[in-house]
Amino acid sequence: RIVLGDLSYHNRHTRRTGLIPLNIGYIASYVAKKFAGSVDIILHKDPKAFLDDIKNEEPSIIGLSFYYWNTNLNKEITAVVRSLYGSGPVIVWGGPSVDSNESEQALLFKRFPGVDAYVVNEGELGFAAVVEAALSNRESIWKAPLDGVAFNANNDLVVGRDVGLSMDLSELPSPFLTGYMDPFLNGDYLPLLQTSRLCPYQCSFCVSGKNTGKL
């Protein structure tokens, strides 16, 4: 059971300005295709709905999109999960706030000790590597490096092979056609389409500022 969150604040100021969780939709679609019949994936935008879900049934893996604007939400959600289930669920963060620099990644583990692993760069391949390792043997998931993933083993940073933007997009199912976006298309969220990958800008809050490329 996998629960993914692209969490955002929900109040009168944010009503009708939020975006559908296309990011975790891509991850869900890819993982569901790769491990068909072995995974049950639920997506959330609302932190309250997320908490109600995990309190109702313990997840095996939790994945949270990590941006500077939802850092505190992710931190609190992670703390609640650990208070409820201890080290049981695997908790993975990924997104533009995961630095590609290994020294910065090591600092993230000190800053957020409840997180098991960070997915570096594009998320589908790295998150799928975590799921595959968990399905193979939950007890030995952190015994060997995982491609596209950084984790902490006995206070040592372990970083897998850099997958960069090696994802074959023809193998990536549409989150719309797979139905993962359906719950978000009739509410207060704005539709979103991704037309390209890489970024030409150098925003300091986003790892793409270090790994720039032409659209």
Question: Residue 64, SS3?
Answer: strand
Distance CA 39, CA 28 (A): 10
Give the percent of the chain with pLDDT over 90.
73
Distance CA 93, CA 63 (A): 6
Output the DSSP codes for 128-144. Answer: HHHHHHHHH-GGGTTSS
The predicted-structure confidence for 40-52, as pLDDT tens digits, reads as follows 999 999 999 999 9
Mean per-residue pLDDT of the chain: 92
The predicted-structure confidence for 82-140, as pLDDT tens digits, reads as follows 999 999 999 999 999 999 899 999 999 999 999 999 999 889 999 999 999 999 988 88
C-alpha triplet 58, 62, 63: angle, nearest 5°: 165
Give the percent of the chain with pLDDT over 70.
100
Q: What is the pLDDT of residue 32?
A: 98
**Quick check: 97 and 103 in contact, CB under 8 A?**
no
**Quick check: 7 and 73 in contact, CB under 8 A?**
yes
Q: Which two tokens stand for residue 162?
A: 């850099």
The predicted-structure confidence for 138-154, as pLDDT tens digits, reads as follows 888 999 999 999 999 98
Distance CA 121, CA 100 (A): 7
Distance CA 136, CA 120 (A): 22
